[in-house]
Structure 1
Amino acid sequence: MIPRPLLELDEIVVEYPGNGRLKPGFRALHGVSLSVAPGETLGLVGESGSGKTTLGRAVLGLAPVTAGDIRYDGRSIAHLTRRARRALSKDIQVVFQDPYTSLNPAMTVMDILTEPLLVTGVSRSEAERRVQALLDQVHLPEDAARRLPREFSGGQRQRIAIARALSRGPRLIVCDEPVSALDLSTQARVLDLFVEIQEATGVAYLFVTHDLAVVRHISHRVAVLYRGEVVETDEATKITESPDHPYTRRLLLAAMVPDPDRQAQRRAERRSMG
Protein backbone atom coordinates (compact mmCIF):
# COMPACT_ATOMS: atom_id res chain seq x y z
CA MET A 1 0.00 0.00 0.00
CA ILE A 2 1.40 3.39 -1.04
CA PRO A 3 1.43 5.81 1.93
CA ARG A 4 -0.52 9.04 1.67
CA PRO A 5 1.72 12.03 0.84
CA LEU A 6 2.59 14.21 3.79
CA LEU A 7 2.36 17.36 1.66
CA GLU A 8 0.31 17.80 -1.52
CA LEU A 9 0.12 20.84 -3.77
CA ASP A 10 -2.80 20.67 -6.19
CA GLU A 11 -2.77 23.15 -9.09
CA ILE A 12 -1.45 25.98 -6.92
CA VAL A 13 -1.71 29.50 -8.31
CA VAL A 14 -0.14 32.48 -6.55
CA GLU A 15 -0.89 35.95 -7.87
CA TYR A 16 0.20 39.30 -6.49
CA PRO A 17 -2.28 42.10 -7.25
CA GLY A 18 -1.13 45.19 -9.07
CA ASN A 19 -1.69 48.85 -8.36
CA GLY A 20 -3.02 50.33 -11.56
CA ARG A 21 -0.68 51.07 -14.45
CA LEU A 22 2.26 51.85 -12.16
CA LYS A 23 2.47 48.33 -10.78
CA PRO A 24 0.87 45.56 -12.84
CA GLY A 25 -0.23 42.32 -11.22
CA PHE A 26 2.09 39.34 -11.33
CA ARG A 27 1.41 35.59 -11.39
CA ALA A 28 4.29 33.85 -9.60
CA LEU A 29 3.00 30.26 -9.82
CA HIS A 30 0.92 28.77 -12.60
CA GLY A 31 -1.00 25.66 -11.48
CA VAL A 32 1.83 23.83 -9.69
CA SER A 33 1.18 20.28 -8.48
CA LEU A 34 3.73 18.44 -6.31
CA SER A 35 3.85 16.04 -3.39
CA VAL A 36 6.29 15.16 -0.61
CA ALA A 37 6.13 11.76 1.09
CA PRO A 38 6.86 11.19 4.78
CA GLY A 39 10.63 11.08 5.30
CA GLU A 40 11.36 12.23 1.73
CA THR A 41 13.43 15.14 0.45
CA LEU A 42 11.95 16.87 -2.57
CA GLY A 43 14.44 19.26 -4.12
CA LEU A 44 12.82 22.32 -5.69
CA VAL A 45 15.20 23.85 -8.21
CA GLY A 46 15.13 26.97 -10.34
CA GLU A 47 16.91 30.22 -11.02
CA SER A 48 15.95 33.54 -9.44
CA GLY A 49 12.39 34.41 -10.46
CA SER A 50 11.36 30.82 -11.11
CA GLY A 51 8.81 30.81 -8.26
CA LYS A 52 10.57 28.32 -6.02
CA THR A 53 10.78 30.59 -2.98
CA THR A 54 7.16 31.69 -3.50
CA LEU A 55 6.12 28.04 -3.42
CA GLY A 56 7.92 27.48 -0.13
CA ARG A 57 6.31 30.61 1.30
CA ALA A 58 2.87 29.40 0.19
CA VAL A 59 3.38 26.14 2.11
CA LEU A 60 4.34 28.20 5.18
CA GLY A 61 1.30 30.46 4.83
CA LEU A 62 3.47 33.48 3.95
CA ALA A 63 2.28 33.86 0.34
CA PRO A 64 -1.38 34.06 -0.77
CA VAL A 65 -2.86 31.02 -2.53
CA THR A 66 -5.06 32.42 -5.29
CA ALA A 67 -6.31 29.07 -6.60
CA GLY A 68 -5.73 25.38 -6.02
CA ASP A 69 -5.11 23.70 -2.68
CA ILE A 70 -2.32 22.74 -0.31
CA ARG A 71 -2.92 19.68 1.86
CA TYR A 72 -0.85 18.59 4.83
CA ASP A 73 -1.49 15.01 5.98
CA GLY A 74 -4.77 15.11 4.03
CA ARG A 75 -5.97 18.40 5.55
CA SER A 76 -6.32 21.60 3.53
CA ILE A 77 -3.98 24.30 4.86
CA ALA A 78 -4.10 26.83 2.01
CA HIS A 79 -6.31 29.32 3.84
CA LEU A 80 -5.81 28.72 7.55
CA THR A 81 -6.51 31.35 10.17
CA ARG A 82 -3.51 32.84 11.94
CA ARG A 83 -4.31 30.82 15.06
CA ALA A 84 -4.57 27.55 13.10
CA ARG A 85 -1.32 28.33 11.30
CA ARG A 86 0.46 28.87 14.63
CA ALA A 87 -0.81 25.50 15.83
CA LEU A 88 0.49 23.89 12.64
CA SER A 89 3.98 25.26 13.26
CA LYS A 90 4.63 22.29 15.52
CA ASP A 91 4.54 20.08 12.42
CA ILE A 92 5.89 22.43 9.73
CA GLN A 93 9.05 24.42 10.35
CA VAL A 94 11.50 26.42 8.22
CA VAL A 95 15.24 26.98 7.88
CA PHE A 96 15.96 30.25 6.08
CA GLN A 97 18.81 31.15 3.76
CA ASP A 98 20.86 33.55 5.81
CA PRO A 99 22.05 32.35 9.23
CA TYR A 100 23.38 35.85 9.93
CA THR A 101 19.91 37.45 9.96
CA SER A 102 17.61 34.58 10.96
CA LEU A 103 18.85 34.55 14.58
CA ASN A 104 18.19 37.31 17.11
CA PRO A 105 21.65 38.78 17.82
CA ALA A 106 20.63 39.93 21.31
CA MET A 107 19.63 36.46 22.52
CA THR A 108 21.87 33.63 23.67
CA VAL A 109 21.59 30.31 21.90
CA MET A 110 19.83 28.94 24.98
CA ASP A 111 17.17 31.66 24.76
CA ILE A 112 16.78 31.18 20.98
CA LEU A 113 16.20 27.46 21.36
CA THR A 114 14.06 27.50 24.51
CA GLU A 115 11.70 30.20 23.23
CA PRO A 116 9.61 27.93 20.93
CA LEU A 117 9.42 25.32 23.70
CA LEU A 118 8.38 27.68 26.51
CA VAL A 119 5.43 29.07 24.52
CA THR A 120 3.96 25.56 24.40
CA GLY A 121 3.98 25.24 28.20
CA VAL A 122 7.16 23.22 28.61
CA SER A 123 8.92 24.00 31.89
CA ARG A 124 12.21 25.89 31.71
CA SER A 125 14.17 23.01 33.19
CA GLU A 126 12.74 20.60 30.62
CA ALA A 127 13.31 23.12 27.82
CA GLU A 128 16.95 23.54 28.81
CA ARG A 129 17.40 19.78 28.93
CA ARG A 130 15.99 19.53 25.41
CA VAL A 131 18.30 22.30 24.21
CA GLN A 132 21.36 20.31 25.25
CA ALA A 133 20.01 17.35 23.27
CA LEU A 134 19.41 19.61 20.24
CA LEU A 135 22.94 21.01 20.38
CA ASP A 136 24.30 17.48 20.46
CA GLN A 137 22.05 16.55 17.51
CA VAL A 138 23.51 19.33 15.35
CA HIS A 139 27.07 18.70 16.61
CA LEU A 140 27.64 21.88 18.60
CA PRO A 141 29.43 21.91 21.97
CA GLU A 142 27.50 22.12 25.23
CA ASP A 143 28.86 25.58 26.04
CA ALA A 144 27.33 26.96 22.83
CA ALA A 145 24.10 27.53 24.76
CA ARG A 146 25.67 30.39 26.74
CA ARG A 147 27.02 32.26 23.72
CA LEU A 148 25.56 34.83 21.29
CA PRO A 149 25.09 34.14 17.55
CA ARG A 150 27.88 36.57 16.58
CA GLU A 151 30.40 34.29 18.27
CA PHE A 152 29.81 31.52 15.71
CA SER A 153 30.82 30.93 12.09
CA GLY A 154 28.21 30.90 9.31
CA GLY A 155 28.01 27.12 9.29
CA GLN A 156 27.61 26.99 13.06
CA ARG A 157 24.86 29.61 12.95
CA GLN A 158 23.01 27.54 10.40
CA ARG A 159 23.31 24.55 12.74
CA ILE A 160 21.68 26.68 15.44
CA ALA A 161 18.88 27.55 13.01
CA ILE A 162 18.42 23.85 12.22
CA ALA A 163 18.26 23.07 15.94
CA ARG A 164 15.57 25.71 16.37
CA ALA A 165 13.54 24.18 13.53
CA LEU A 166 13.87 20.75 15.16
CA SER A 167 12.93 21.91 18.66
CA ARG A 168 9.24 20.98 18.46
CA GLY A 169 9.68 17.74 16.53
CA PRO A 170 8.33 18.74 13.09
CA ARG A 171 7.39 16.26 10.39
CA LEU A 172 8.20 18.67 7.54
CA ILE A 173 10.86 21.37 7.23
CA VAL A 174 10.87 23.89 4.39
CA CYS A 175 14.54 24.62 3.65
CA ASP A 176 14.83 27.92 1.78
CA GLU A 177 18.32 28.00 0.20
CA PRO A 178 19.80 26.97 3.57
CA VAL A 179 23.39 26.51 2.34
CA SER A 180 23.71 29.15 -0.38
CA ALA A 181 25.36 31.67 2.00
CA LEU A 182 28.06 29.15 2.99
CA ASP A 183 31.36 28.22 1.36
CA LEU A 184 31.49 24.91 -0.50
CA SER A 185 33.20 22.84 2.20
CA THR A 186 30.79 24.11 4.86
CA GLN A 187 27.87 23.47 2.51
CA ALA A 188 28.83 19.81 2.26
CA ARG A 189 29.03 19.38 6.03
CA VAL A 190 25.66 21.06 6.61
CA LEU A 191 24.05 18.96 3.87
CA ASP A 192 25.45 15.83 5.52
CA LEU A 193 23.85 17.02 8.77
CA PHE A 194 20.45 17.38 7.08
CA VAL A 195 20.74 13.80 5.82
CA GLU A 196 21.83 12.51 9.22
CA ILE A 197 18.89 14.22 10.94
CA GLN A 198 16.44 12.83 8.42
CA GLU A 199 17.73 9.29 8.91
CA ALA A 200 17.41 9.67 12.69
CA THR A 201 14.00 11.39 12.85
CA GLY A 202 12.15 10.62 9.62
CA VAL A 203 11.50 14.32 8.95
CA ALA A 204 10.62 15.32 5.38
CA TYR A 205 12.23 18.26 3.58
CA LEU A 206 11.00 20.60 0.88
CA PHE A 207 14.47 21.76 -0.13
CA VAL A 208 14.50 24.99 -2.15
CA THR A 209 17.71 25.77 -4.05
CA HIS A 210 19.08 27.15 -7.31
CA ASP A 211 21.91 24.60 -7.38
CA LEU A 212 21.55 21.14 -8.93
CA ALA A 213 24.78 20.06 -7.25
CA VAL A 214 23.09 20.64 -3.89
CA VAL A 215 19.96 18.65 -4.74
CA ARG A 216 22.12 15.83 -6.09
CA HIS A 217 23.68 15.63 -2.62
CA ILE A 218 20.49 15.59 -0.58
CA SER A 219 17.31 14.90 -2.58
CA HIS A 220 15.34 11.75 -3.34
CA ARG A 221 13.30 13.48 -6.06
CA VAL A 222 13.67 16.82 -7.82
CA ALA A 223 11.12 19.22 -9.31
CA VAL A 224 12.40 21.92 -11.67
CA LEU A 225 10.56 25.25 -11.79
CA TYR A 226 10.76 27.66 -14.70
CA ARG A 227 8.73 30.86 -14.81
CA GLY A 228 6.28 29.58 -12.24
CA GLU A 229 5.69 26.16 -13.79
CA VAL A 230 7.08 22.69 -13.11
CA VAL A 231 8.89 21.64 -16.28
CA GLU A 232 10.38 18.38 -15.03
CA THR A 233 10.02 16.05 -12.03
CA ASP A 234 11.93 12.82 -11.53
CA GLU A 235 14.31 10.90 -9.30
CA ALA A 236 17.31 13.01 -8.30
CA THR A 237 19.78 10.76 -10.12
CA LYS A 238 17.84 11.06 -13.37
CA ILE A 239 17.46 14.84 -13.15
CA THR A 240 21.10 15.49 -12.28
CA GLU A 241 22.62 13.05 -14.78
CA SER A 242 20.34 13.01 -17.83
CA PRO A 243 17.60 15.67 -17.66
CA ASP A 244 15.01 15.88 -20.41
CA HIS A 245 14.06 19.55 -20.42
CA PRO A 246 16.41 22.11 -22.04
CA TYR A 247 16.08 24.43 -19.03
CA THR A 248 17.18 21.66 -16.66
CA ARG A 249 20.15 20.93 -18.90
CA ARG A 250 21.18 24.60 -18.68
CA LEU A 251 20.93 24.43 -14.87
CA LEU A 252 23.09 21.32 -14.88
CA LEU A 253 25.76 23.02 -16.95
CA ALA A 254 25.71 25.97 -14.53
CA ALA A 255 26.42 23.74 -11.52
CA MET A 256 29.95 23.99 -10.13
CA VAL A 257 32.36 21.06 -10.55
CA PRO A 258 35.82 20.76 -8.93
CA ASP A 259 37.68 20.19 -12.23
CA PRO A 260 38.52 23.66 -13.73
CA ASP A 261 38.83 22.26 -17.27
CA ARG A 262 35.44 20.57 -17.01
CA GLN A 263 33.99 23.76 -15.52
CA ALA A 264 35.28 25.80 -18.48
CA GLN A 265 33.81 23.25 -20.88
CA ARG A 266 30.45 23.52 -19.10
CA ARG A 267 30.48 27.31 -19.39
CA ALA A 268 31.16 27.03 -23.12
CA GLU A 269 28.35 24.50 -23.56
CA ARG A 270 25.96 26.72 -21.66
CA ARG A 271 26.81 29.75 -23.80
CA SER A 272 26.20 27.68 -26.95
CA MET A 273 22.71 26.84 -25.67
CA GLY A 274 21.84 30.50 -25.39
Structure 2
Amino acid sequence: MTAAPALLELHRVIVDYPVRGWRAPPFRALNQVSLTVGAGETVGLVGESGSGKTTLGRAILGLAPVTGGDIHFSGRSISGLGRRERRALSKDVQVVFQDPFTSLNPAMTVGDILTEPLLVTGSSRAVAERRVRDLLDKVHLPADAASRLPREFSGGQRQRVAIARALCRDPRLIVCDEPVSALDLSTQARVLDLFTEIQHLTGVAYLFVTHDLAVVRHISHRVAVMFRGEIVEAGDADTVTITPAHPYTQRLLLAAPVPDPVRQAARREQRHHFLAAQLAASS
Protein backbone atom coordinates (compact mmCIF):
# COMPACT_ATOMS: atom_id res chain seq x y z
CA MET A 1 0.00 0.00 0.00
CA THR A 2 1.38 3.44 -0.97
CA ALA A 3 1.80 5.74 2.02
CA ALA A 4 -0.93 8.35 2.20
CA PRO A 5 0.12 12.02 2.42
CA ALA A 6 0.35 13.19 6.03
CA LEU A 7 -2.84 14.85 7.26
CA LEU A 8 -2.18 14.75 11.01
CA GLU A 9 1.33 14.79 12.49
CA LEU A 10 2.26 14.59 16.17
CA HIS A 11 5.87 15.48 16.96
CA ARG A 12 7.19 14.37 20.38
CA VAL A 13 3.99 15.47 22.13
CA ILE A 14 4.02 15.79 25.92
CA VAL A 15 0.93 16.24 28.11
CA ASP A 16 1.41 16.94 31.83
CA TYR A 17 -1.35 17.28 34.41
CA PRO A 18 -0.81 19.12 37.71
CA VAL A 19 -0.92 17.01 40.86
CA ARG A 20 -2.14 18.21 44.25
CA GLY A 21 0.48 18.49 46.91
CA TRP A 22 3.32 20.78 47.89
CA ARG A 23 5.84 20.86 45.05
CA ALA A 24 4.50 17.57 43.69
CA PRO A 25 5.77 16.88 40.14
CA PRO A 26 3.11 16.84 37.41
CA PHE A 27 1.69 13.59 36.13
CA ARG A 28 3.00 12.87 32.63
CA ALA A 29 0.09 11.40 30.63
CA LEU A 30 1.91 11.51 27.26
CA ASN A 31 5.67 11.30 26.90
CA GLN A 32 7.31 12.26 23.60
CA VAL A 33 4.57 10.74 21.41
CA SER A 34 5.04 10.92 17.62
CA LEU A 35 2.38 9.68 15.22
CA THR A 36 1.02 10.38 11.73
CA VAL A 37 -2.36 9.80 10.11
CA GLY A 38 -2.57 10.00 6.34
CA ALA A 39 -5.46 11.39 4.31
CA GLY A 40 -8.14 8.71 3.98
CA GLU A 41 -6.27 6.39 6.36
CA THR A 42 -7.38 4.67 9.56
CA VAL A 43 -4.81 4.48 12.33
CA GLY A 44 -5.80 2.38 15.32
CA LEU A 45 -4.53 3.49 18.72
CA VAL A 46 -4.75 0.63 21.20
CA GLY A 47 -3.88 0.19 24.86
CA GLU A 48 -5.29 -0.57 28.28
CA SER A 49 -7.14 1.97 30.44
CA GLY A 50 -4.65 4.57 31.66
CA SER A 51 -2.24 4.04 28.76
CA GLY A 52 -2.75 7.60 27.46
CA LYS A 53 -4.65 6.84 24.27
CA THR A 54 -7.72 8.93 25.15
CA THR A 55 -5.48 11.78 26.32
CA LEU A 56 -3.81 11.73 22.90
CA GLY A 57 -7.18 12.08 21.18
CA ARG A 58 -8.14 14.90 23.55
CA ALA A 59 -4.85 16.71 22.83
CA ILE A 60 -5.64 16.65 19.10
CA LEU A 61 -9.10 18.08 19.81
CA GLY A 62 -7.70 20.83 22.05
CA LEU A 63 -9.25 19.30 25.19
CA ALA A 64 -5.94 18.42 26.89
CA PRO A 65 -2.98 20.76 27.42
CA VAL A 66 0.02 20.17 25.13
CA THR A 67 3.00 21.03 27.33
CA GLY A 68 5.69 19.94 24.89
CA GLY A 69 6.12 19.00 21.24
CA ASP A 70 3.67 20.01 18.52
CA ILE A 71 0.62 18.81 16.60
CA HIS A 72 0.20 19.67 12.91
CA PHE A 73 -2.95 19.31 10.85
CA SER A 74 -2.57 19.69 7.09
CA GLY A 75 0.84 21.26 7.64
CA ARG A 76 -0.36 23.82 10.20
CA SER A 77 0.40 23.81 13.93
CA ILE A 78 -2.80 23.43 15.97
CA SER A 79 -1.34 22.95 19.46
CA GLY A 80 -1.99 26.45 20.78
CA LEU A 81 -5.09 27.57 18.90
CA GLY A 82 -7.48 30.03 20.52
CA ARG A 83 -11.19 29.38 20.88
CA ARG A 84 -12.14 31.05 17.57
CA GLU A 85 -9.45 29.21 15.59
CA ARG A 86 -10.36 25.92 17.26
CA ARG A 87 -14.01 26.45 16.31
CA ALA A 88 -12.96 27.02 12.68
CA LEU A 89 -10.85 23.86 12.77
CA SER A 90 -13.90 21.84 13.86
CA LYS A 91 -15.05 21.84 10.23
CA ASP A 92 -12.10 19.57 9.42
CA VAL A 93 -11.62 17.68 12.71
CA GLN A 94 -14.56 15.98 14.43
CA VAL A 95 -15.08 13.37 17.15
CA VAL A 96 -17.32 10.38 17.90
CA PHE A 97 -17.44 9.68 21.63
CA GLN A 98 -17.68 6.35 23.42
CA ASP A 99 -21.14 6.52 24.92
CA PRO A 100 -24.05 7.10 22.53
CA PHE A 101 -26.40 7.39 25.51
CA THR A 102 -24.80 10.57 26.90
CA SER A 103 -23.24 12.20 23.82
CA LEU A 104 -26.62 13.25 22.37
CA ASN A 105 -28.89 15.92 23.87
CA PRO A 106 -31.96 14.00 25.13
CA ALA A 107 -34.22 17.05 24.78
CA MET A 108 -33.54 17.59 21.07
CA THR A 109 -34.86 15.63 18.11
CA VAL A 110 -32.34 13.95 15.85
CA GLY A 111 -33.17 16.52 13.16
CA ASP A 112 -32.37 19.39 15.53
CA ILE A 113 -29.14 17.69 16.67
CA LEU A 114 -27.97 17.40 13.06
CA THR A 115 -29.16 20.77 11.77
CA GLU A 116 -27.74 22.82 14.67
CA PRO A 117 -24.06 22.79 13.53
CA LEU A 118 -25.16 23.59 9.98
CA LEU A 119 -27.40 26.52 10.96
CA VAL A 120 -24.73 27.94 13.29
CA THR A 121 -22.24 28.02 10.40
CA GLY A 122 -24.60 29.89 8.06
CA SER A 123 -26.58 27.25 6.15
CA SER A 124 -30.22 28.01 5.42
CA ARG A 125 -32.79 25.73 7.03
CA ALA A 126 -33.77 24.26 3.66
CA VAL A 127 -30.15 23.38 2.85
CA ALA A 128 -29.64 21.99 6.37
CA GLU A 129 -32.72 19.78 6.13
CA ARG A 130 -31.59 18.37 2.78
CA ARG A 131 -28.19 17.67 4.31
CA VAL A 132 -29.82 15.88 7.26
CA ARG A 133 -31.76 13.60 4.90
CA ASP A 134 -28.52 12.77 3.11
CA LEU A 135 -26.70 12.09 6.40
CA LEU A 136 -29.46 9.79 7.70
CA ASP A 137 -29.27 7.86 4.44
CA LYS A 138 -25.47 7.58 4.77
CA VAL A 139 -25.74 6.01 8.23
CA HIS A 140 -28.68 3.79 7.21
CA LEU A 141 -31.38 5.36 9.36
CA PRO A 142 -34.91 6.04 8.06
CA ALA A 143 -35.90 9.57 7.05
CA ASP A 144 -38.47 9.77 9.89
CA ALA A 145 -35.61 9.44 12.38
CA ALA A 146 -35.23 13.22 12.17
CA SER A 147 -38.49 13.76 14.06
CA ARG A 148 -37.65 11.34 16.90
CA LEU A 149 -35.78 11.77 20.18
CA PRO A 150 -32.53 9.89 20.96
CA ARG A 151 -34.25 7.79 23.65
CA GLU A 152 -36.40 6.18 20.96
CA PHE A 153 -33.34 4.47 19.42
CA SER A 154 -31.16 1.53 20.36
CA GLY A 155 -27.50 2.01 21.33
CA GLY A 156 -26.29 1.13 17.84
CA GLN A 157 -28.76 3.52 16.23
CA ARG A 158 -27.74 6.33 18.59
CA GLN A 159 -24.13 5.79 17.63
CA ARG A 160 -25.19 6.10 13.98
CA VAL A 161 -26.74 9.47 14.85
CA ALA A 162 -23.46 10.48 16.53
CA ILE A 163 -21.56 9.47 13.39
CA ALA A 164 -23.97 11.49 11.24
CA ARG A 165 -23.40 14.53 13.50
CA ALA A 166 -19.62 14.15 13.09
CA LEU A 167 -20.08 14.04 9.30
CA CYS A 168 -22.28 17.18 9.13
CA ARG A 169 -19.56 19.52 7.85
CA ASP A 170 -17.58 17.00 5.75
CA PRO A 171 -14.57 16.67 8.08
CA ARG A 172 -11.21 15.36 6.87
CA LEU A 173 -10.41 13.61 10.18
CA ILE A 174 -12.61 12.01 12.83
CA VAL A 175 -11.19 11.06 16.24
CA CYS A 176 -13.14 7.95 17.28
CA ASP A 177 -12.85 7.51 21.06
CA GLU A 178 -13.87 3.91 21.87
CA PRO A 179 -16.96 4.34 19.64
CA VAL A 180 -18.09 0.69 19.77
CA SER A 181 -17.04 -0.42 23.27
CA ALA A 182 -20.50 0.31 24.75
CA LEU A 183 -22.23 -1.86 22.11
CA ASP A 184 -22.87 -5.60 21.95
CA LEU A 185 -20.71 -7.68 19.59
CA SER A 186 -23.16 -7.98 16.69
CA THR A 187 -23.92 -4.23 16.81
CA GLN A 188 -20.17 -3.51 17.02
CA ALA A 189 -19.58 -5.36 13.76
CA ARG A 190 -22.33 -3.44 11.93
CA VAL A 191 -21.07 -0.05 13.19
CA LEU A 192 -17.48 -0.91 12.23
CA ASP A 193 -18.68 -1.83 8.74
CA LEU A 194 -20.47 1.53 8.61
CA PHE A 195 -17.24 3.38 9.48
CA THR A 196 -15.47 1.53 6.65
CA GLU A 197 -18.29 2.26 4.18
CA ILE A 198 -18.29 5.97 5.05
CA GLN A 199 -14.53 6.14 4.59
CA HIS A 200 -14.84 4.64 1.12
CA LEU A 201 -17.60 7.14 0.23
CA THR A 202 -16.04 10.30 1.68
CA GLY A 203 -12.28 9.70 2.02
CA VAL A 204 -12.35 10.77 5.69
CA ALA A 205 -9.42 9.70 7.91
CA TYR A 206 -9.89 8.11 11.34
CA LEU A 207 -7.81 8.00 14.49
CA PHE A 208 -9.54 5.01 16.06
CA VAL A 209 -8.96 4.78 19.82
CA THR A 210 -9.77 1.43 21.44
CA HIS A 211 -8.59 -1.18 23.92
CA ASP A 212 -9.55 -4.07 21.62
CA LEU A 213 -6.96 -5.54 19.24
CA ALA A 214 -9.68 -7.38 17.30
CA VAL A 215 -11.46 -4.08 16.59
CA VAL A 216 -8.33 -2.32 15.31
CA ARG A 217 -7.42 -5.34 13.17
CA HIS A 218 -10.87 -5.14 11.55
CA ILE A 219 -10.82 -1.45 10.69
CA SER A 220 -7.24 -0.12 10.66
CA HIS A 221 -4.55 0.26 8.03
CA ARG A 222 -1.89 0.87 10.68
CA VAL A 223 -1.83 0.35 14.44
CA ALA A 224 0.06 2.09 17.26
CA VAL A 225 0.20 0.51 20.72
CA MET A 226 0.37 2.74 23.79
CA PHE A 227 1.74 1.85 27.22
CA ARG A 228 2.25 4.30 30.09
CA GLY A 229 2.01 7.35 27.86
CA GLU A 230 4.37 6.12 25.14
CA ILE A 231 3.98 4.33 21.80
CA VAL A 232 5.81 1.02 22.24
CA GLU A 233 4.99 -0.55 18.87
CA ALA A 234 3.60 0.67 15.55
CA GLY A 235 3.22 -0.78 12.08
CA ASP A 236 0.95 -2.52 9.62
CA ALA A 237 -2.32 -3.65 11.25
CA ASP A 238 -1.93 -7.36 10.46
CA THR A 239 1.67 -7.45 11.67
CA VAL A 240 1.01 -5.67 14.97
CA THR A 241 -2.22 -7.51 15.83
CA ILE A 242 -1.24 -11.03 14.71
CA THR A 243 2.54 -11.29 15.20
CA PRO A 244 3.44 -8.45 17.61
CA ALA A 245 7.08 -7.86 18.53
CA HIS A 246 6.75 -5.95 21.81
CA PRO A 247 6.03 -7.93 25.02
CA TYR A 248 3.23 -5.54 26.01
CA THR A 249 1.44 -6.04 22.68
CA GLN A 250 1.93 -9.80 23.00
CA ARG A 251 0.30 -9.63 26.43
CA LEU A 252 -2.65 -7.65 25.03
CA LEU A 253 -3.10 -10.24 22.29
CA LEU A 254 -3.11 -13.13 24.77
CA ALA A 255 -5.61 -11.29 26.98
CA ALA A 256 -8.10 -10.84 24.13
CA PRO A 257 -10.96 -13.38 24.37
CA VAL A 258 -11.79 -15.78 21.53
CA PRO A 259 -15.20 -17.46 20.99
CA ASP A 260 -13.80 -21.04 21.01
CA PRO A 261 -13.61 -22.40 24.63
CA VAL A 262 -10.74 -24.77 23.78
CA ARG A 263 -8.69 -22.02 22.13
CA GLN A 264 -9.57 -19.67 24.98
CA ALA A 265 -8.30 -22.18 27.57
CA ALA A 266 -5.09 -22.66 25.57
CA ARG A 267 -4.64 -18.89 25.26
CA ARG A 268 -5.17 -18.46 29.02
CA GLU A 269 -2.51 -21.09 29.72
CA GLN A 270 -0.15 -19.47 27.22
CA ARG A 271 -0.68 -16.09 28.86
CA HIS A 272 0.07 -17.60 32.29
CA HIS A 273 3.38 -19.01 31.04
CA PHE A 274 4.20 -15.74 29.25
CA LEU A 275 3.65 -13.67 32.41
CA ALA A 276 5.63 -16.15 34.52
CA ALA A 277 8.54 -15.95 32.06
CA GLN A 278 8.43 -12.13 32.10
CA LEU A 279 8.40 -12.10 35.90
CA ALA A 280 11.35 -14.48 36.06
CA ALA A 281 13.30 -12.38 33.55
CA SER A 282 12.74 -9.18 35.52
CA SER A 283 13.73 -10.67 38.90
* Residue 137 of structure 1: aligned partner: 138
For 1:118, give the aligned amino acid.
L
The alignment's C-alpha RMSD in Å is 1.3
Deviation, 1:28, is 0.3
Q: Indicate conservation of the 8 Å contact 1:176/1:207, yes or no.
A: yes
Q: Map Cα deviations across residues 40-86 of structure 1 (whole Å, 9 max, x no partner).
A: 00000000010000000000000000000000000000010011000
Deviation, 1:267, is 2.1
* Residue 162 of structure 2: aligned partner: 161
* C-alpha distance in structure 1 between counterparts of 2:157 and 2:82, whole Å: 35
Task: After the TM superposition, list the runs of 4 or more consecutive aligned residues in structure 1 that deviate by more than 3 angstroms.
Answer: 1-4, 21-24
Alignment of 1:210-221 (within 5 A): 210-221=211-222
* C-alpha distance in structure 2 between counterparts of 1:3 and 1:155, whole Å: 31
Deviation, 1:272, is 2.6
* Residue 116 of structure 1: aligned partner: 117
* Residue 147 of structure 1: aligned partner: 148
For 1:25, give the aligned amino acid.
P
* C-alpha distance in structure 2 between counterparts of 1:22 and 1:256, whole Å: 43
* C-alpha distance in structure 2 between counterparts of 1:180 and 1:2, whole Å: 29
* C-alpha distance in structure 2 between counterparts of 1:190 and 1:257, whole Å: 20
* Residue 11 of structure 1: aligned partner: 12
For 1:234, give the aligned amino acid.
G
* Residue 181 of structure 2: aligned partner: 180
Q: Indicate conservation of the 8 Å contact 1:179/1:190, yes or no.
A: yes
The gaps in structure 1 that reach 5 residues or longer are none
* C-alpha distance in structure 1 between counterparts of 2:4 and 2:216, whole Å: 24
* C-alpha distance in structure 1 between counterparts of 2:144 and 2:216, whole Å: 33
Count of equivalent residues = 274
Q: Counterpart of 2:186 in 1: which secondary structure?
A: helix
* Residue 34 of structure 2: aligned partner: 33
| 1:75 and 2:76 correspond | yes
Q: Map Cα deviations across residues 3-45 of structure 1 (whole Å, 9 max, x no partner).
A: 5400000000000012224975200011000000000000000
* C-alpha distance in structure 2 between counterparts of 1:127 and 1:190, whole Å: 25
* C-alpha distance in structure 2 between counterparts of 1:99 and 1:82, whole Å: 26
* Residue 243 of structure 2: aligned partner: 242
* C-alpha distance in structure 2 between counterparts of 1:267 and 1:134, whole Å: 44
* C-alpha distance in structure 1 between counterparts of 2:53 and 2:109, whole Å: 32
Relative to structure 2, which stretch is displaced further, 261-270 or 128-137?
261-270
Normalising by structure 2, report the TM-score. 0.94
Q: Indicate conservation of the 8 Å contact 2:4/2:41, yes or no.
A: no
